[in-house]
Amino acid sequence: MRGIDCSTGSPIESSKVNKAIGLKTKIIDEDGLFDMLRKTAPQPEPEPQPQPAPEPKPRQPPAAPASGGASGAAGGAADARAPAVERAPALWAEKYRPQRVEDLVGNNDHVKRLVQWASTWEANARGGKEFRKAVLLSGPPGVGKTSAARVVLAALGYDVIELNASDTRSKNALQQTAADMLTNTSIAAFATGGGGGGGPAASSKLALIMDEVDGMSSGDRGGMQQLVALIKTSKLPVICCCNDRSSQKVKSLANHCLDLRFRKPSSREVATAFLKIATSEGYRTDLPSVEKVAVACNGDLRGMLNLLQLWRPSGETLNGDAVAKGATNDISAGAFEVWDRFFKQATRGSPAYKPLDGRLRDYFVDSSMTPLLVQEMYPSSPGLSVGNAPQAQLAALNRMASAAESIAESDVVGSRIVREQQWTLSPLQGVLACARPGFFAAGGITSQARFPAFLGRFSTANKRQRLLRECASHMQAQASASKAEVRCSYVPALRSALVRPLKTSGSDGIEATLALLDEYSLTKDDYDALVELQLALGDKKEGEDLPSAVKSALTRAYNKSHRTEPRKLGKASRAAEPSRFDEDGALDDDAEAEDEDEEAEPVAAKPKQKAAASKGKGKAKAR
Amino acid sequence: MVLLVDKYRPRTLDGLDHGASLSASLKRLVAGGDFPHMLVYGPSGAGKKTRVMALLRELHGPSAEKLRVESRTFKIGTHNVELTLLSSPHHIELNPSDAGNRDREVVQEVIKEIAQTAPVVGAAADGQRAFKVVVLNEVERLSKPAQHALRRTMEKYVSTCRLLLICTNPSKVIAPIRSRCMCLRVAAPTHDEICTVLGSVAQKEGLKLPAGLAMRIATASERNLRRAILTLEACKVAQYPFTDNQPLQQPDWLAYIDAVALDVLHEQSPRQLLKVRGRLYELISSCIPPDLIFQQLTIALLKRCPKPVQHEALHHAAIYEHRLQAGQKAVFHLEAFLARFMSVYKKHMVMSQR
């Protein structure tokens, strides 16, 4: 086929075309091609019928007994469970979703309690007020919360309505749909003449599963309160599931629910369960290798099934080797599992050799933690500790310096990423922060990873910066120094001036110390900060070696003088700081309390409040 | 019983101990009751703030010294920013860089608000001084966006407000701001000037200060007057009567940095680097500014190593310090510098042994 030059419209002349002409190949143009296609195309079929749905869903239109007065709400729910029944889904995690209570893996106690709760629900709900009408199942993903809820309810003959995060669950939506359902009974119940407005008939009871309640987000405004309200008046059992039990939203719900916290099943339990599945899928495997996968998946049964299904096509058997191979690629590991890979000593061609993109993948496992681990550990690499030969030592020091320099460069890149949102620089940071230091300090670290000291030190530094800032702002009126200058000049001087009287004359020096504190408008907390902000080469820090009797006497004296006496204002021309002082805060509290009293409080409440206020004050001082 | 440094702080332009010509021109400047925006810069302990306060006193009389500290919380967007304001009836002083990442908002909202409103006190009394003075400390620590936000405010509200910007390093202040200000350099006092000040402080306290000791204090405090007077006080506590060669009290952090330098010179190995890293963490987490650590560490190292090493080490120090300014995790840069220094130093030791 021969085209035309787009810009000139003339046929393309080129060596290939010339050769084709020389070989007398048939040359066609675009139209010629279409002609050829038309001639050679097979006889067009008659307009294809729209494929009928693979299997008609028999349950949906006529036999949705649950719908009744709330067809809108139940529609989604029916959809949700329909596929599981009709045809075996390709996904193992769905295909082998537990169908019976016995199929559930792990958390046997909780399942038992759930069964007991559900089976006695009707009797209890009508009777005792103490009875919790709802259950809250919480736990990490993939441990079988939703499965447990479905299976247990199904076993007890309930029709399940399920609302999850994909449904709107705002206050209004819940009110309109769920409220109808919860206070109604199914039409089927009337049909069988079971209950007539009272309890639903045994054959078609309804239950509600609220899945993923911690996912009720800002779009679901008021949904949680509405849910709690529903539970209180509910005539059906309600099971709520969530991952994050500690979430603030879930906490309020938990007060109204029977609280069942699902744990991860042990890797042995998971592995045993999988072996059954493997047998029915014709996947040959053994317990130890499956257990290894289970450990890597961290008890997430669903995740493990998905992973193993992914591996299945690559072979009939699953053994230790396959696990090791797959694990490097597909199992998501944490920074603590991957950091040492950067220090592996491997030349090109050896099995442990990993090209740069592989190393980068390790970096991206946890791009904030891995660099810190590498930074923490690189000087400990055996590759840098060489014998006593000076030349070798020098070479090692050079490599160490290069590693450290690379890490320093990565910090510059990292701050670019953070400050300017230049995320395209991430791979570069990976190279600088992990791959290069690992290369320079290669030598196969075998020692245990230390937790990066940077994190702890960083938070200490932040805390002390705050202390210093407070301190500097308190003395701002007296001392004209920036924060850094306060730290470098004033802190050492003030500290020794404050500690000296206590050291030389013990408790008698307290007066002088407090006077100096007042002069600079400093508080006792600032005094403690001054003592803390010190770099001692030996063990003893100035001010910490005072006898504890003197220390506590100082605290007492400070509390006493700063609670009862009106604060000294220092020099007449220099009034300092109204709001920062502790005792001022306390005075304010009292004033407020009195204000409240005058406004509306009954007289009896007064002493109590006062006591509370002074108690709080005492506590604050004791710090 | 305040520290000597604050007890004898000069309060008036006439009382300032050094930079007499600067004081005189300032005095002439404010004689008319008005002045432009000013950028006051100079090293720590040179007397920038003291001079600014003296200037305000010159302008408004002793009432400018009625200071009041308050901590106020400003609501900026959805966040609360706590700022400490130091104010007299005539001026407001604040540290906008304390707001950290939100310094731009502080400039945009808080300073603008202060600048917009005309002063209440003073305006009625004499019409000519109807402007507020806003003193901003540590301007060089403001982020670039915050500095840009300041530009417009400076121009727009010039009728109601004057800004006095204080910083140590004017090259970190963007050029548009520098051009809108009258830039005043407050130079560090010379060693002799420091000796004179120390002498007069000692005299007022009734102490006898030998000239030799005064000079040693002046040298050790690197022309930082504040540090000099604080050192004098520490020396008095340690030993009085003074002698010419009594030991000087070093601040804790300087001694610590010296110890780090000795560690590095004593042994060069990965193990030693880990040990030194711990000390660097300790320095940073006790709030010593990283660039100061870097500077002092370099000085402490260079003092103790031979010439060829000095040259190479200084070359690296410049590069690593620049990186420190661009980065965030200071300890990485300090450690990298020390690792490099170890290798340079070792190289020299190995070569010289041959």
Residue A323 and residue A341: Cα distance in Å, rounded?
18
Q: What is the pLDDT of residues A202-224, one digit of tens each?
A: 445 778 888 877 767 655 666 77
Whether residue A385 is contained in a domain is answered as: yes
Q: Which of A405, A450, A463, A582 to mutate to test the interface with B (most CBs of B within 10 A)?
A: A405
Q: Which domain holds residue A535?
A: 458-560
- Residue B148 CB-density burial (10 A; 0-12 exposed, 13-18 middle, 19+ buried): middle
Distances (CA, A) of A580 to A477, A516, A527, A610, B71: 13, 17, 15, 22, 7
Confidence category of residue B120, pLDDT binned at 50, 70, 90: low
CA distance B9 to chain A (A): 9
Model confidence at A600: pLDDT above 50: no
- Residue A375 CB-density burial (10 A; 0-12 exposed, 13-18 middle, 19+ buried): buried
CATH, residue A351: 1.20.272.10
Mean pLDDT of chain A: 73
Strands, sheet with A238-242, edge to edge from the N-terminal-most edge strand: A158-163, A205-210, A238-242, A134-138, A257-261
H or E stretch covering A273: helix A267-281
Look at chain A and report how many structural domains it folds into: 5
Whole-number pLDDT of residue B126: 53
Residue of A nearest to B329 (CA): A411
Point out the residue among B98, B331, B333 whose CB comes nearest to the CB of A469: B98
CA distance A582 to chain B (A): 13
Whole-number pLDDT of residue B121: 54
Lowest mean pLDDT among A76-90, A122-136, A157-171: A76-90
Instruction: Let me know the angle formed at the C-alpha of A422 by A416 and A425, rounded to the nearest 5 degrees.
Output: 85
Residue B337 and residue A184: Cα distance in Å, rounded?
75
Distances (CA, A) of A113 to A136, A137, A425: 12, 11, 52
Whole-number pLDDT of residue A328: 54
How many other CB atoms sit within 10 Å of the CB of residue A544? 13
Helix-, strand-, coil-residue percentages of chain A, each rounded to 5: 60, 5, 35
Question: In terms of domains, do A444 and A544 share one?
Answer: no
Whole-number pLDDT of residue B197: 92
Q: What is the pLDDT of residues A522-577, one digit of tens each?
A: 888 889 888 888 888 776 777 788 888 888 888 888 888 876 444 444 333 333 33
Model confidence at B157: pLDDT above 90: no
Residues 268-287 of B with CB under 8 A from A: 268-271, 273-274, 277-278, 281-287
Residue of B nearest to A407 (CA): B332
Question: In terms of domains, do A279 and A229 share one?
Answer: no
Whole-number pLDDT of residue A74: 39
Model confidence at A595: pLDDT above 60: no
CA distance A82 to chain B (A): 46
- Over the range B268-296, which residues count as b (16 or more CB within 10 Å of their CB) and which as e? bbbebbbebbebbbbbbbbbbbbebbbeb
Question: In terms of domains, do A341 and A326 share one?
Answer: no
Whether residue A619 is contained in a domain is answered as: no
Say whether A493 and B49 touch across the interface (CB within 8 A): no
Q: What residues of B are in contact with residue A386 (Cβ under 8 Å)? A: none
Model confidence at A619: pLDDT above 60: no
Task: Compute the half-sphere exposure of residue A442: CA atoms within 13 Å on the CB side of its CA.
Answer: 13
Model confidence at A113: pLDDT above 60: yes
Decide which of A204 and A63 is more confident: A204
Residues 456-485 of A with CB under 8 A from B: 457, 460-461, 464-465, 468-469, 473-474, 476-485
Decide which of A594 and B107 is more confident: B107
Confidence category of residue A263, pLDDT binned at 50, 70, 90: confident
Whether residue A578 is contained in a domain is answered as: no
Task: Tell me the average pLDDT across B8-36.
Answer: 84
Spatial contact of A556 and A524, defined as CB atoms under 8 Å apart:
no
Model confidence at A75: pLDDT above 50: no
Look up residue A138 and give its amino acid: S
Question: In terms of domains, do A395 and A533 share one?
Answer: no
Spatial contact of A493 and A548, defined as CB atoms under 8 Å apart:
no
- Residue (of B86, B94, B187, B88) closest to B138 by Cα position: B94
A575 by DSSP, 3-state: which? coil
Residue B171 and residue A42: Cα distance in Å, rounded?
79
Whole-number pLDDT of residue A406: 96
Q: Is A392 within 8 Å of chain B by CB?
A: no
Question: In terms of domains, do A385 and A424 share one?
Answer: yes
Residue A442 and residue A273: Cα distance in Å, rounded?
42
Lowest mean pLDDT among A48-57, B106-115, B129-138: A48-57
- Over the range A406-438, which residues count as b (16 or more CB within 10 Å of their CB) and which as e? bbbbbbbbbebbeeeeeeebbbbbbbbbbbbbb
Model confidence at A167: pLDDT above 80: no
Model confidence at B274: pLDDT above 60: yes
What distance, in Å, lies between the first and last C-alpha atoms of chain A?
A: 89
Whole-number pLDDT of residue A77: 40
Residue B166 and residue A116: Cα distance in Å, rounded?
73
Residues 487-526 of A with CB under 8 A from B: 487-490, 492-494, 496-497, 500, 512, 515-516, 519-521
Q: Regarding beta strands B68-76 and B79-87, do their DSSP bridges make them parallel or antiparallel, or are they unpaired? A: antiparallel
For A137, the token pair is: 């199942």
How many other CB atoms sit within 10 Å of the CB of residue A219? 11
Q: What residues of A are in contact with residue B69 (Cβ under 8 Å)? A: 473-474, 476-477, 521, 576-578, 580
Q: Is A400 within 8 Å of chain B by CB?
A: yes
Question: In terms of domains, do A482 and A417 share one?
Answer: no
Question: In terms of domains, do A145 and A229 share one?
Answer: yes
Top-confidence range, A242-256, A291-305, A538-552, B302-316 = B302-316
- Residue (of A154, A74, A78) closest to A119 by Cα position: A154
Q: What is the pLDDT of residues A274-304, one digit of tens each?
A: 888 888 877 777 777 777 777 777 767 787 7
Question: In terms of domains, do A490 and A551 share one?
Answer: yes
Whether residue A462 is contained in a domain is answered as: yes
Residue B197 and residue B226: Cα distance in Å, rounded?
11
Q: Is B51 within 8 Å of chain A by CB?
A: no
Residue A587 and residue B293: Cα distance in Å, rounded?
43
What distance, in Å, lies between the first and last C-alpha atoms of chain B?
A: 61
Look up residue A70 and give its amino acid: A
Question: In terms of domains, do A302 and A389 share one?
Answer: no
For B284, the token pair is: 């940073």
Whether residue A353 is contained in a domain is answered as: yes
Size of interface A-B (CB pairs under 8 A): 223
A210 by DSSP, 3-state: which? strand
How many other CB atoms sit within 10 Å of the CB of residue A473? 24
Q: How far is CA A455 from the centre of its chain?
A: 18
Question: In terms of domains, do A137 and A242 share one?
Answer: yes
CATH, residue A208: 3.40.50.300
Q: Is B69 within 8 Å of chain A by CB?
A: yes
Q: Is B227 within 8 Å of chain A by CB?
A: yes
Whole-number pLDDT of residue A85: 43
Confidence category of residue A144, pLDDT binned at 50, 70, 90: confident
Whole-number pLDDT of residue A429: 93
E strand map for B177-331: 182-185
Question: In terms of domains, do A440 and A527 share one?
Answer: no
Whether residue A79 is contained in a domain is answered as: no
Model pTM score = 0.65
Confidence category of residue B86, pLDDT binned at 50, 70, 90: confident
Whether residue A55 is contained in a domain is answered as: no
Whether residue A153 is contained in a domain is answered as: yes
CA distance A61 to chain B (A): 50
Mean pLDDT of chain B: 87
Residues 113-132 of B with CB under 8 A from A: none
Model confidence at A397: pLDDT above 50: yes
How many other CB atoms sit within 10 Å of the CB of residue A18? 10
Residue A21 and residue A113: Cα distance in Å, rounded?
85
Q: Regarding beta strands B161-167 and B182-185, do their DSSP bridges make them parallel or antiparallel, or are they unpaired? A: unpaired
Residue A424 and residue B94: Cα distance in Å, rounded?
38
Q: What is the pLDDT of residues A491-522, one digit of tens each?
A: 888 888 888 888 888 888 888 888 888 888 88
Lowest mean pLDDT among A99-113, A559-573, B16-30: A559-573
Whole-number pLDDT of residue A252: 78
Whole-number pLDDT of residue A152: 87
A263 by DSSP, 3-state: which? coil
Say whether B233 and A497 touch across the interface (CB within 8 A): yes
Question: In terms of domains, do A228 and A257 share one?
Answer: yes
